[in-house]
């Protein structure tokens, strides 16, 4: 697809470079009726994000001041209630949501001054600040707290809230391994499932807090069952499958947990085995043995961690770090595959092939190397993605490089971003293995840098190394 050059008038958008405040707001308002190109509108949207972050910082500052000024009865000096009870009716929040807002404002003021400044300057948005506050809550080491806060501010402009969470949790596990492992163990004791309100009409929301590996396995099962159902083209009753992937995931979730979706798709009463009428369309649910195979989760871990000789945590690519105790528990029932990595950086080594369709060995290699979809801020697990050629197979790139089926010319692309590259004018380059550079139709460039398969491998501290 050939995309015409996008008009770009730097002089028109120069006022958007100033710090967020009344002047930037006035500049944005003045552009409301101006005919702008797609590239220019991207910058306008980016500037509005900075204004919204600045406003959120102002609100949090006011909440913190209200929290400090609100009178408190004896014995409730640390309570969030006085400020929260004032704000709940004014902001139309539930009491719990109002208390959470006051708690966030209190933590930001007391512990996260760098993040507060970044929010006010528009370098971080409110969702990223919430993630930073949640991950760094109760960190006992002031030096680590300051360093990770600075890291969050540094990486916020290019990472989604979930990607920022993975980064901070991984770094926390590397810097304070014993404290983090104890915190993770306490968290696993709080696992729960709750039924609550949903923003979707006619629905209720089930929220499950599960151990990281278990939650990943559950998600993989649902996505794989749904993908298989959609790929078949027919529902369990033999009719044309018209449900979306999200709908199929929801129906598979219900079918598996209620027993109303036996293998083959029959809707059965668990007590009698007789057919029953359900409120949802049927979905084919694999047998328990097959479900176990679908729940395979990739956990990368150093051998010395398994032996108890290292505190280097394991890692579920794209999801987060797993403490050594949890990894060693998982190892009892795990199947293991050896990954050969570059000894300094920890990145997976090359394996080249000359056929069009990536064989299973190359697919496993690319999935292990990249972890998630190769697009910026996309969190789709690589194991669910297609293995896509960067330069089309047999074609040539801008520099004359021929497209082959090899790890340096392939990457995991979800359906959305595969379609963007093929049909919507996005250009993808892979200048080195696992580093993907995207150019949007409007001309913006985004880079996804390669990552070690096991974060923390490079520069391992002496106590992490295996005994001689």
Whether the predicted pLDDT of 216 surpasses 90: no
From 60-64, 88-92, 358-362, 420-424, the region with the lowest mean pLDDT: 358-362
Token pair in block for residue 283: 């979905």
Instruction: Please name which of 244, 241, 223 lies closest in space to residue 233, comparing C-alpha atoms.
Output: 241
Rounded Cα distance between 54 and 88, Å, is: 22
Report percent pLDDT > 90 for the chain: 29
Mean pLDDT score, 239-244: 78
The strand pairing partners of 197, in sequence order, are 204
pLDDT tens for 121-153 read 999 999 999 999 999 999 999 999 999 999 999
For residue 57, pLDDT over 90 is answered with: yes
Name the pLDDT band for 279 (thresholds 50, 70, 90).
low
Query: In the structure encoding, which two tokens stand for residue 432, read together?
Result: 């080195």
The three-state (H, E, C) secondary structure of 300-340, written as one string: ECCHHHHCCCCCCCEEECCCEEECHHHHHHHHCCCCCCCCC
Pick from 388, 223, 387, 365: nearest CA to 298: 365
What mean pLDDT is predicted for residues 82-100? 90
pLDDT at position 2: 45
User: CA neighbours within 13 Å on the CB side: how many for 350?
Assistant: 9
**What pLDDT, on the 0 to 100 scale, is given for residue 265?**
43
- pLDDT tens digits, one per residue of 145-184: 999 999 999 999 989 999 999 899 989 988 998 899 899 8
**In whole angstroms, what is the distance from residue 154 CA to residue 172 CA?**
16
pLDDT at 320 > cutoff 60: yes
Q: How does the average pLDDT of the chain come out, rounded?
A: 81
Q: How large is the angle between the packed helices 245-258 and 212-232, nearest 10 degrees? A: 110
Place 336 in a pLDDT band, splitting at 50, 70 and 90: low
Joined tokens for residue 251: 């129906």
Domain segments of the chain as ranges: 10-70+78-177, 206-294, 303-346+454-464, 360-448
Q: Is the pLDDT score of 242 beyond 70? A: yes
Q: Above 70 in pLDDT, residue 86?
A: yes
Q: Where are the alpha helices (DSSP H) in 70-112?
A: 81-91, 95-111
pLDDT given at position 60: 96
pLDDT of 314 strictly over 90: no
Q: Is the pLDDT of residue 61 over 60?
A: yes
Q: How far is CA 278 from CA 71, 251, 392, in A?
A: 54, 11, 46
pLDDT score, position 267: 46
Residue 465 clears pLDDT 90, i.e. is over it: no
Q: Phi, psi at residue 372, to the nearest 5°?
A: -130, 175
Provide DSSP, 104-162: HHHHHHHH-HHHHHHHHHTSS-HHHHHHHHHHHTT-S-HHHHHHHHHHHHHHGGG--HH
Higher per-residue confidence, 160 vs 405: 160
- Which of the four pLDDT bands, split at 50, 70 and 90, describes residue 468? very low
- Cα separation, 123 vs 128, in Å, equals 10
Cα separations in angstroms, 283 against 41, 193, 228: 43, 23, 10
The phi and psi torsions of 151 (rounded to 5 degrees) equal -65, -40
Whether pLDDT at 302 is above 90: no
State the residue for tokens 């629905």: 203
pLDDT at 332: 65
Closest CA to 158 of 370, 429, 449: 449
Q: What is the pLDDT of residue 158?
A: 87
Residues 203-210, mean pLDDT to the nearest whole number: 89
For residue 458, name the pLDDT band (cuts at 50, 70, 90): low
Q: What is the rounded CA–CA span in Å between residue 238 and residue 216? A: 31
Q: Considering only residues 135 and 213, tell me which one the structure prediction assigns the higher pLDDT.
A: 135
Residue 122 has a pLDDT of: 95
Between 108 and 247, name the one with better pLDDT: 108
The predicted model scores a pTM of: 0.72
For the stretch 357-401, pLDDT in tens is: 677 778 888 888 888 888 888 888 888 888 888 888 767 777 777
Using one digit for the tens of pLDDT, what is the confidence trace for 2-48?
445 567 888 888 999 999 999 999 999 999 888 888 889 999 999 99
CB distance 316 to 322 below 8 Å: yes
Q: What is the pLDDT of residue 235?
A: 66
């Amino acid at each position: 697809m050939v995309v015409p050059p996008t008009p770009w008038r730097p002089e028109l958008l120069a006022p958007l470079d100033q710090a967020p405040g009344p002047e930037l707001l006035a500049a944005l308002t003045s552009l409301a009726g101006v005919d702008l190109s797609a590239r220019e509108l991207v910058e306008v949207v980016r500037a509005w994000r900075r204004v919204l972050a600045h406003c959120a910082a102002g609100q949090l500052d006011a909440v913190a001041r209200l929290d400090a000024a609100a009178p408190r009865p004896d014995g409730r000096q640390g309570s969030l209630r006085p400020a929260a009870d004032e704000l709940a009716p004014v902001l139309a929040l539930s009491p719990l949501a109002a208390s959470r807002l006051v708690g966030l404002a209190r933590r930001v003021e007391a512990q996260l001054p760098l993040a507060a400044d970044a929010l006010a300057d528009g370098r971080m948005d409110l969702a990223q600040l919430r993630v930073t506050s949640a991950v760094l809550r109760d960190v006992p080491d002031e030096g680590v707290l300051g360093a990770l806060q600075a890291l969050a501010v540094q990486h916020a402009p290019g990472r989604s809230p979930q990607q920022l969470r993975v980064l901070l949790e991984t770094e926390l596990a590397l810097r304070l391994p014993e404290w983090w492992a104890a915190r993770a163990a306490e968290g696993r004791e709080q696992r729960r499932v709750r039924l609550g309100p949903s923003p979707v009409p006619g629905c209720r929301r089930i929220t499950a807090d599960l151990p990281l590996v278990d939650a990943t396995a559950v998600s993989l099962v649902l996505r794989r069952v749904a993908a298989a159902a959609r790929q078949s083209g027919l529902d369990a009753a033999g009719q044309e499958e018209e449900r979306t992937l999200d709908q199929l995931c929801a129906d598979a979730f219900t079918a598996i947990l209620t027993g109303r979706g036996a293998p083959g798709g029959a809707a059965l009463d668990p007590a009698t085995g007789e057919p029953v009428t359900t409120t949802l369309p049927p979905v084919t649910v694999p047998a328990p043995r097959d479900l176990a195979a679908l729940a395979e989760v990739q956990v990368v871990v150093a051998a010395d961690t398994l032996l108890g000789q290292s505190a280097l945590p394991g890692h579920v690519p794209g999801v987060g770090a797993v403490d050594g105790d949890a990894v060693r528990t998982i190892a009892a029932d795990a199947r293991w595959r050896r990954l050969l990595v570059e000894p300094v950086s920890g990145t997976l080594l090359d394996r080249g092939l000359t056929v069009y369709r990536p064989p299973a060995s190359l697919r496993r290699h690319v999935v292990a190397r990249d972890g998630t979809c190769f697009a910026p801020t996309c969190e789709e697990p690589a194991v669910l993605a297609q293995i896509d050629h960067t330069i089309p197979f047999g074609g040539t790139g801008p520099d004359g490089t021929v497209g082959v089926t090899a790890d340096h010319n392939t990457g995991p692309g979800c359906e959305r971003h595969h379609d963007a590259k093929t049909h919507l004018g996005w250009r993808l380059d892979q200048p080195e293995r696992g580093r993907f550079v995207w150019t949007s139709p409007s001309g913006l460039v985004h880079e996804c840098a390669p990552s070690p398969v096991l974060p923390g491998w490079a520069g391992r501290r002496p106590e992490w190394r295996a005994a001689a």
